[in-house]
Amino acid sequence: LSRGLDVLRELPCETTDGLRIPLWVNTGLLADVVRAQERGAEGVGLYRTEVPFMIKERFPSEKEQLAIYREQLQAFHPLPVTMRSLDIGGDKSLPYFPIQEENPFLGWRGIRVTLDHPEIFLLQTRAMLKSSEGLNNLRILLPMISGTRELEEALHLIQRAWNEVRDEGTDVRMPPVGVMIEVPAAVYQTRELARMVDFISVGSNDLTQYLLAVDRNNPRVADLYDYLHPAVLEALLRVVTDAHAEGRPVSICGEMAGDPAAALLLLAMGFDSLSMNATNLPRVKWMVRQISSQVARELLDKVMQLESPQAIRSTLQETLRSLG
Ligand code: PEP
Ligand code: MG
């Protein structure tokens, strides 16, 4: 297997007719970096910054954050590293910053928390910017955005952090900034949001949960949680179309991108890159290399006519079987 991985690592991720699609990884711990490099990732599509916060007993200082972020940026340099601003709340709470709510997934989470605590957001953004000095492979990603007002506020804070660190003598460019599309409302505002940023990244885990009204962690309704639901696929297609209409690249960083069958559909939809768990990367790359973009598009057309996730899944499995 490891010989196979070595060979695959060096091969480009492209269809049989030469359509290239970069495969990125999702990271959190430093250990993810090693696995990502072994598998030939072309960048980091999602660095979950909650992870270094979760393993501490208090909020990490600017200096501590800077050191952790710099490790990520250095490890992948010159490849891009997409750092998401702190996304706590929902199922992720910090022991030293407990959030107790009846409906945590509909409550205070992601950007909502950090806009209410701009000091946390500013400190984190300053640490990110400083950590990229001399490297300039940083991209900043904003989670749980549900409208333009939140995005405006967040962009304003990033600008302020940038002004501050520049005034202090740090020589950094303004990094590309992107917005996550993971709240259904944002799907319908993709164009407005896209105009304000440099890139779009779909969070299919939360988008599936919110579109289907199915808790992503509740085993009782796990059968209903399915990113191959036609409504989810319609939403994804719309995001790609609208992001491209504004000339912005669009990526996807939920678990779905790491499912080889789903990845074929995402490729056909026109996603510009896929970000996944490093473990799944070789399988996805192998699959992409088996198919032509033409066949992938035909498969997408066929699947978009189907009415249930079950029918979609069996059609995909048939195609995968025919590919061997
Ligand atoms: C998502 O929601 O799809 C996502 C990538 O973010 P997280 O799983 O961290 O919520
Ligand atoms: Mg999410």
Which pLDDT band, with edges at 50, 70 and 90, does 91 fall under? confident
Cα(first)–Cα(last) distance of the chain, in Å? Answer: 18
The residue assigned the tokens 């407005």 is 192
Cβ atoms of 79 and 43 within 8 Å: the answer is: yes
CB of 203 closer than 6 angstroms to any ligand 1 atom: yes
Compute the distance from residue 108 Cα to the ligand 1 centre, in Å: 16
Compute the distance from residue 197 Cα to the ligand 2 centre, in Å: 18
CB of 214 closer than 6 angstroms to any ligand 1 atom: no
Which pLDDT band, with edges at 50, 70 and 90, does 104 fall under? very high
Structure tokens at 47: 């660095």
pLDDT at 2: 66
| Stated length of the chain | 324
CB of 204 closer than 6 angstroms to any ligand 1 atom: yes
DSSP H helices, 145-227, are 148-167, 184-187, 190-196, 204-212
pLDDT at 320: 87
Give yes or no for a cis peptide into 78 (omega within 30° of 0): yes
Q: Atom 6 of ligand 1 has which residue's CA nearest to it? A: 203
Q: Atom 4 of ligand 1 has which residue's CA nearest to it? A: 203
CA distance 202 to 224: 20
Ligand 1: atom nearest CA of 256 is 3
Which pLDDT band, with edges at 50, 70 and 90, does 7 fall under? confident
pTM recorded for the entire structure: 0.97
pLDDT at 129: 98
Average pLDDT over every residue of 224-247: 98
Secondary structure (3-state) at 275: strand
- Among 27, 29, 32, 46, residue to substitute to test ligand 1 (most atoms within 8 Å of Cβ): 46
Give 116-124's long-range contacts (Cβ < 8 A, gap of 24+): 118/157, 120/59, 120/86, 121/85, 121/86, 121/154, 121/157, 122/157, 122/160, 122/161, 122/164, 123/62, 123/65, 124/49, 124/65, 124/85, 124/86
How much is the ipTM here? 0.99
CB of 25 closer than 6 angstroms to any ligand 1 atom: no
Which of 81, 32, 75 lies closest to 52, judged by CA? Answer: 32
Which pLDDT tens digit goes with each residue over 36-62?
988 999 999 999 999 989 989 999 999
CA distance 221 to 232: 17
148-167 vs 118-131: helix crossing angle, rounded to 10: 50
Compute the distance from residue 63 Cα to the ligand 2 centre, in Å: 26
- Among 111, 206, 225, 274, residue to substitute to test ligand 1 (most atoms within 8 Å of Cβ): 206
The dihedral through the CA atoms of 50, 56, 60, 63 has a sign that is: negative
Which pLDDT band, with edges at 50, 70 and 90, does 260 fall under? very high
Q: Atom 1 of ligand 1 has which residue's CA nearest to it? A: 203
Ligand 2 (ion): residues with CB under 5 Å are 182, 203, 206
Structure tokens at 154: 């967040």
Tell me 175's DSSP state: P
Structure tokens at 33: 């970096």
The dihedral through the CA atoms of 87, 91, 96, 100 has a sign that is: positive
CB of 205 closer than 6 angstroms to any ligand 1 atom: yes
138 Cβ contact list (under 8 Å, min separation 6): 69, 73, 80, 81, 83, 128, 129, 131, 132, 175
Average pLDDT over every residue of 134-158: 98
